[in-house]
Structure 1
């Protein structure tokens, strides 16, 4: 199977390793808490809500075309740029970035080094992670400055656009920290920001810190250099199990220990298990504790958040239905996505209640057919096997209920563009 120059998760081994890292960060504090379902934020007209923006896509023009077949043009889109080559991940990314920027749209750029670290010549995922950690320190030391020039020139050529630069994405200690303090990533973030700011001729850039949800505090570069915080929202963030060949995956717990019909998170603990560890119990939570805690962390630090990546996954299909559609749970996923934007209520294992309904102000929805890989292009170049985690058609045009819920959510959540 050929390996494409696509961002993040473009190799199955990378996805599996990253998934394990995400799941490892799921464990919240061990104090027990009362169960509570997600409650809506303040009701009222869109004018009373924070102005929100929608970004579409992650790799090419296809997502924009699908979305605008039934909706107003969104505020912008998302693409990827890699440190190794010092340019866009592929021509398709460059074309989409140009399409957006030529129209004065917002362009989210994921600047990647963990998926293809400079100087990595081969090996397993652990070897690649080790090289990524080294590159992170090298960036902090001022190396690779020339690799940003193509991006800087692009920003300078498009003063009417806003650029949201993720300095790598889903950052974690495994890929970005050379010691327990994570000074390597914190210093690399500050160094890259200083480099780009010094070379651009206008201030149309914001810098996004996008950690794995369990390590948002550990790697935080600081209030003075972070403009926004990013989060990925796929399945476990919304407490939904995903189907992978051989069975369900649900926050790392084995099938014998959960009921996939419950569709809730294990965010509370009661007593200990046979090994003396905190024992998770079922509670009525629709959102992962670390996502809610990250939202509170962002609010406490005066930062707005962006859902930097989001999309449906394979919630129900065992491979027998090759359409990839998630007719029922796809709609539930959309409901929970917009419910997260409006969240006001308790946080697992924390006292009190919290109004987080004004924290997330931008959402990126990928809107691609993942059955055909990360670019969604049906050209037999890279497909996910039936029944696997990403074997799902996430194009909203293919749905009725989920699309209607998505369009309704844009209106009620204060987005600047809407759909029907």
Structure 2
């Protein structure tokens, strides 16, 4: 996510994320990520769709990143927890620098301490050469810019970032070459050679201009287009995914419109799970479609399988709670019980083992996701969470929610338990 002037409408973002994925296959050997250590974590919590505690003891450590724009997210989180492994910020191609001073200052704070810095390098939100028009015109220009980047254009726009990386050899940089990439914003042909080539060109450019081996490259697609847009095993280090509400099959409201089903009278979130089929067995032992309610979007599980098949670890590049309130009556946007359910599902996803929609068999995906980014901001006041009058979300919009963990009881407790039980390198203070 970036600043409000550069962000496309939330509904557009959600609809683009619902593009269906095709069935995936692959047998590539699993490879360890060079960016993360592999000490033994503590045992996993129980759950019918998660692997056993015994199996969990062989999984690698995980990292937690906090924030997406300013140090405010870090300050809130560290009010009750130990310092996380790093944070997340944004950089734009058009201006050739950080989205604003807050992003730059937070990046410096993290890098000066040798932390992990996830950098979302974006051109789709504000494409070079685009000076006005509707979303369709902006998307068309973004596709053109993608091809221009593939052809080697705009190399001067990365000078600030290259110099920053070279000045911080002890930090680790996870570079997302644009975020939530999709055919609508990045592909000039059906095979998406434009984005694949742009990813490769940018990776080679950074490799040639940075002086130390502390840069990793993240492919972060919308859920349904990961296979079509994948740049290749030789250039992708990690695969990113966004996890908000739909990904965890949680109900959300956007200006009165309900996603993920129609609520019953008591608004039971258990009745609002995603429903999809997988290939199981009938009473005679034959393959058959079996319908199931899921806690996780099918495309997310398929992406996890795709990552494992290709020997790549995944990073939750963005995650945060969204608006579960139908009428905007919650003045703070806080809903304790649903916040806790969201948190439990997030950490449950990290140790998922079970069926995958539309595929046969069961799959152990418990070691795939190695890093989680939690935004930890008050979304009632826009993308930076600042109550300064510059930008507020409508009270009944998707993003009207205070996502700061310090403001929650059960959700914060479950988040801290998840860090402990899923083997994160840093946990909450006791």
TM-score (norm. length: structure 1): 0.90
Counterpart of 1:294 in structure 2 is: 303
Counterpart of 1:142 in structure 2 is: 152
Contact 1:10 1:374 in 2 (8 A): no
Counterpart of 1:418 in structure 2 is: 427
* Partner secondary structure for residue 87 of structure 2: strand
Counterpart of 1:20 in structure 2 is: 15
Please state how far the C-alpha of 1:182 moved relative to its aligned partner: 0.2
Please state how far the C-alpha of 1:321 moved relative to its aligned partner: 1.5
Does residue 242 of structure 2 align to residue 232 of structure 1?
Answer: yes
1:318-333 equivalences under 5 Å are: 318-333=327-342
Please state how far the C-alpha of 1:247 moved relative to its aligned partner: 3.2
Post-superposition Cα deviations, 1:10-62, rounded to whole Å, max 9, x if no partner, equal 56743332222112x14666xxxxxxx96112314975331100000000000
1:113-124 equivalences under 5 Å are: 113-124=123-134
- CA distance in structure 1 between the aligned counterparts of 2:60 and 2:232, rounded to whole angstroms: 24
Post-superposition Cα deviations, 1:159-203, rounded to whole Å, max 9, x if no partner, equal 000000000000000000000010000000000000011011111
Counterpart of 1:401 in structure 2 is: 410
- CA distance in structure 2 between the aligned counterparts of 1:47 and 1:224, rounded to whole angstroms: 30
Please state how far the C-alpha of 1:283 moved relative to its aligned partner: 3.0
Contact 1:72 1:417 in 2 (8 A): yes
Please state how far the C-alpha of 1:245 moved relative to its aligned partner: 1.9
Counterpart of 1:275 in structure 2 is: none
- CA distance in structure 1 between the aligned counterparts of 2:20 and 2:4, rounded to whole angstroms: 19
Please state how far the C-alpha of 1:243 moved relative to its aligned partner: 1.2
Counterpart of 1:248 in structure 2 is: 258
Post-superposition Cα deviations, 1:137-162, rounded to whole Å, max 9, x if no partner, equal 00000000111111000000000000
Contact 1:111 1:167 in 2 (8 A): yes
Q: 1:244 to 1:38 in 2, by over 3 A?
A: farther
Counterpart of 1:388 in structure 2 is: 397
Counterpart of 2:312 in structure 1 is: 303
Post-superposition Cα deviations, 1:277-307, rounded to whole Å, max 9, x if no partner, equal xxx9973111011100000000000000000
Contact 2:263 2:272 in 1 (8 A): no
Contact 2:85 2:116 in 1 (8 A): yes
- CA distance in structure 2 between the aligned counterparts of 1:309 and 1:134, rounded to whole angstroms: 26
1:77-226 equivalences under 5 Å are: 77-226=87-236
* Partner secondary structure for residue 411 of structure 2: helix
Contact 2:4 2:382 in 1 (8 A): no
- CA distance in structure 1 between the aligned counterparts of 2:293 and 2:263, rounded to whole angstroms: 19
- CA distance in structure 2 between the aligned counterparts of 1:27 and 1:202, rounded to whole angstroms: 37
Contact 1:8 1:115 in 2 (8 A): no
Contact 1:38 1:286 in 2 (8 A): no
Contact 2:318 2:374 in 1 (8 A): yes
* Partner secondary structure for residue 274 of structure 2: coil
- CA distance in structure 1 between the aligned counterparts of 2:412 and 2:161, rounded to whole angstroms: 34
- CA distance in structure 1 between the aligned counterparts of 2:3 and 2:146, rounded to whole angstroms: 17
Contact 2:278 2:360 in 1 (8 A): no
- CA distance in structure 1 between the aligned counterparts of 2:192 and 2:48, rounded to whole angstroms: 33
- CA distance in structure 1 between the aligned counterparts of 2:389 and 2:410, rounded to whole angstroms: 30
Q: 1:284 to 1:9 in 2, by over 3 A?
A: farther
Please state how far the C-alpha of 1:248 moved relative to its aligned partner: 1.0
- CA distance in structure 1 between the aligned counterparts of 2:71 and 2:7, rounded to whole angstroms: 24
Contact 1:298 1:304 in 2 (8 A): yes
- The one of 38, 57, 81 equivalent to 2:67 is 57
TM-score (norm. length: structure 2): 0.88
Contact 2:6 2:126 in 1 (8 A): no
Post-superposition Cα deviations, 1:299-333, rounded to whole Å, max 9, x if no partner, equal 00000000000000001342111111021111000
- CA distance in structure 2 between the aligned counterparts of 1:12 and 1:198, rounded to whole angstroms: 31
Unaligned runs of at least 5 residues, structure 2: 24-46, 280-288
Contact 1:79 1:109 in 2 (8 A): yes
Contact 2:3 2:384 in 1 (8 A): no
Counterpart of 2:39 in structure 1 is: none
Contact 1:264 1:283 in 2 (8 A): no
- CA distance in structure 1 between the aligned counterparts of 2:406 and 2:300, rounded to whole angstroms: 28
1:41-56 equivalences under 5 Å are: 41-44=51-54, 47-56=57-66
Please state how far the C-alpha of 1:348 moved relative to its aligned partner: 1.0
Contact 2:278 2:356 in 1 (8 A): no
